[in-house]
Amino acid sequence: MDTSGPVPPTRRLSTGEREQAIDRSAPVLPPALEIDENNYFENNAPPEYLDELARQCEEFVKMHGTGRIVLVTSGGTTVPLENQTVRFIDNFSAGTRGATSAEYFLENGYAVIFLHRQFSLLPYSRHYSHSTNCFLDFMEENDGQVVVSQQYQQQMRTVLRKYRAAKDRNQLLLLPFTTINQYLHTLRTVSVILQSAGPRALFYLAAAVSDFFIPPSRIPEHKIQSKAGGNKLIMDLDPVPKFLNRLVERWAPGAMIISFKLETDSEILISKARQALERYSHQLVIGNLLQTRKNEIVFVEPEVPETWIRLSDEQIKDGTEIESLIIPATIERHTAWIEQSK
């Protein structure tokens, strides 16, 4: 094939250096002020189901009286490009961190509000739902009865018992989101409801949250059309206000707040985590790198050196989940938080 001729117009690709793809000289967005909060929530309508979620959440918090409650956020938020959405920008996250962490919190007696991206991994069902095996591969027919295959019996019995125990005690409340707007409205509503739990409330913000969105005034109603000849789609996104300090100061004062910091460059992980801690004045940032997130994470806390949590080679081999180490270390800090709040 002759490749020396000109590239046909429809195949022409943009050229340029990857390093220059993003303007890194742009200033970092300051934490949101009250006026930014009012502007955002007045101009971005709440999801119509929000009152029903609030009702469920209030009932759940009341039911768990004097016990500990954790809000786990999990999965990625989306940014719709159209009001009647065909296309959207997504954020990376399968929901593994959130769903796995939720299980260890439940085992440690916490009531868990699981604010998750709809259809991402859920506690317990995660062992089967998104597996490379279809769930039917775990089953077989025995004298006309559908049963779990012998080789999966033991593991499934263990998972089933834990799931039933959590369900029987009404320990788990599932609240879904899809878009960044649904996430922010629900987060604020749940946070305010959790105020009544004071320091017993723990926020474990593992969801991967969009940094940019299209405000309602600029979002087209219908599907964006492409034209013959390959016109470009140029997007103009606004930054999502940084609400973490509003959460710390106004939405959930008294609660212990943990955010996650995700990076791909190991050189900047600690400094970015420290920066977040200083800007938002919360209690703990858990740093992780995309490439190694299942095997190592780092706790970054005010005034003390970083603490790494790493799986040993042995633990990696035997399938130990890093969340089984993260959650006890987190709970230790939450206990200290409750003590010092007395």
Which residues lie near ligand 9Z3 (CB under 6 A)?
A: 93-97, 206, 208-209, 259-262, 288, 293
Instruction: Give Cβ neighbours of residue 306 (< 8 Å, ≥ 6 apart).
Output: 270, 287, 298, 299, 300
What's the closest the beta carbon of residue 140 comes to ligand 9Z3, in angstroms? 31
What's the closest the beta carbon of residue 289 comes to ligand 9Z3, in angstroms? 9
What's the closest the beta carbon of residue 332 comes to ligand 9Z3, in angstroms? 20
Q: Please measure the distance between the N-terminal and C-terminal CA atoms of the chain and give it in whole angstroms.
A: 77
Cβ–Cβ under 8 Å, residues 71 and 190: yes
Query: Where does the chain have alpha helices with state H?
Result: 34-43, 50-63, 96-107, 126-129, 150-168, 180-194, 244-246, 269-280, 313-317, 323-340
What's the closest the beta carbon of residue 139 comes to ligand 9Z3, in angstroms? 27
Nearer to ligand 9Z3, 250 or 293 (CB): 293
Nearer to ligand 9Z3, 153 or 266 (CB): 266
Nearer to ligand 9Z3, 93 or 181 (CB): 93
What's the closest the beta carbon of residue 66 comes to ligand 9Z3, in angstroms? 30
Nearer to ligand 9Z3, 171 or 210 (CB): 210
Nearer to ligand 9Z3, 185 or 261 (CB): 261
d(CA 112, CA 18) in angstroms, rounded, equals: 42
> What token pair was written down for 191?
């946070």
Nearer to ligand 9Z3, 104 or 260 (CB): 260
Instruction: Give Cβ neighbours of residue 97 (< 8 Å, ≥ 6 apart).
Output: 74, 206, 260, 293, 323
What's the closest the beta carbon of residue 339 comes to ligand 9Z3, in angstroms? 27
> What token pair was written down for 17?
């250096």
d(CA 341, CA 339) in angstroms, rounded, equals: 5
What's the closest the beta carbon of residue 83 comes to ligand 9Z3, in angstroms? 25
Nearer to ligand 9Z3, 60 or 183 (CB): 183
Cβ–Cβ under 8 Å, residues 75 and 120: yes
Cβ–Cβ under 8 Å, residues 103 and 121: no
Instruction: Mark residue 142 as left, alpha or beta (left: phi above 0; alpha: psi -120 to 50; beta: remaining).
Output: beta
